[in-house]
């Protein structure tokens, strides 16, 4: 006899599939990025990102412009083709709100190219007590290799296992006619600790795996 919360079924199912504590659904990756940036830069303005990940996504949206429109200050590190862990270390200061890593879904670079792994960046972020979040681009729900696709697309489960506090991806669901696309934000349940040592629990509007009595969508009743 009670009205259920909109999206509860799909959010619980996504949390289960992605191996996350919680998940939420928004319109696309740009919307997910704005939501996350605005949340974490309320008290500290700076966001650290590699210059090699300042990508432009579909529709002409540029990562840097989206971040600035959300009210954050960009702190670009490294070079287009090469970024080191030391670059991230030197960029982190008292005004750093978070570190963002962006997967280059629609292009790749080879040759004299290098960047630290997500696990290494996550370890640095934990040491400096700031959130590490990862934009997986198109991403994937499960390993694409099992379907005969040669190119590996990162999954939220992999990102969280490597240490990301939040990870999101686009195109997890698309209707053939309307072209409706949703983006999944997967959350690691942890208290984000600011560089000054203050505890800030995340208040993003996410649904946990045990947050409602309904079974995950598609798993029966």
| CA dihedral (109, 162, 61, 180) positive or negative | positive
Q: What is the pLDDT of residue 172?
A: 58
Class of domain 8-196: alpha beta
**Measured at the alpha carbon of residue 33, what is the angle toward residues 60 and 94, in degrees to the nearest 5?**
120
Q: Note the pLDDT tens digit of each residue in 41-81.
A: 999 999 999 999 998 877 788 999 999 999 999 999 999 99
Lowest mean pLDDT among 180-184, 212-216, 217-221: 217-221
- Report the candidate in 52, 74, 20 with the shortest Cα–Cα distance to residue 186: 20
Residues 166-170 have a mean pLDDT of 80
Q: Please, are residues 163 and 122 in contact by the beta-carbon 8 Å criterion?
A: yes
Q: Does residue 209 register a pLDDT over 50?
A: no
Report the C-alpha gap between 211 and 201 in whole angstroms.
Answer: 17
Q: What is the pLDDT of residue 161?
A: 85
Q: Note the pLDDT tens digit of each residue in 177-199.
A: 333 334 556 666 555 554 444 43
DSSP 143-170: -GGGGT-SS---BHHHHHHHT-SEEEES
Q: Note the pLDDT tens digit of each residue in 101-115.
A: 998 877 778 899 999
């Amino acid at each position: 006899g009670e009205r259920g919360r909109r999206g509860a079924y799909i959010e619980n199912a996504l949390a289960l599939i992605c191996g996350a504590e919680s998940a939420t659904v928004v319109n696309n990756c740009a919307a997910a990025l704005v939501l996350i940036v605005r949340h974490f830069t309320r008290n500290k303005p700076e966001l650290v990102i590699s210059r090699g990940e300042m990508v432009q996504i579909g529709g002409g949206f540029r990562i840097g412009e989206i971040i600035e429109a959300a009210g954050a200050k960009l702190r670009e590190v490294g070079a287009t083709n090469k970024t080191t862990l030391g670059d991230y270390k030197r960029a982190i200061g008292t005004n750093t709100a978070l570190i963002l890593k962006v997967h280059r879904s629609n292009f790749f670079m080879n040759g004299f190219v290098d960047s630290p792994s997500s696990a290494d960046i996550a370890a640095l972020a934990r040491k400096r007590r700031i959130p590490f979040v990862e934009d997986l681009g198109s991403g994937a729900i499960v390993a694409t290799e099992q379907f005969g696709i040669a190119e590996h697309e990162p999954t939220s489960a992999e990102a969280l296992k490597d240490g990301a506090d939040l990870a999101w991806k686009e195109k997890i669901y698309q209707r053939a006619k309307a072209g409706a696309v949703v983006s999944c934000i997967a959350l690691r349940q942890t208290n984000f600790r600011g560089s000054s040592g203050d505890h800030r629990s995340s208040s993003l509007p996410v649904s946990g795996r045990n947050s409602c009595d309904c079974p995950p969508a598609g798993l029966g009743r």
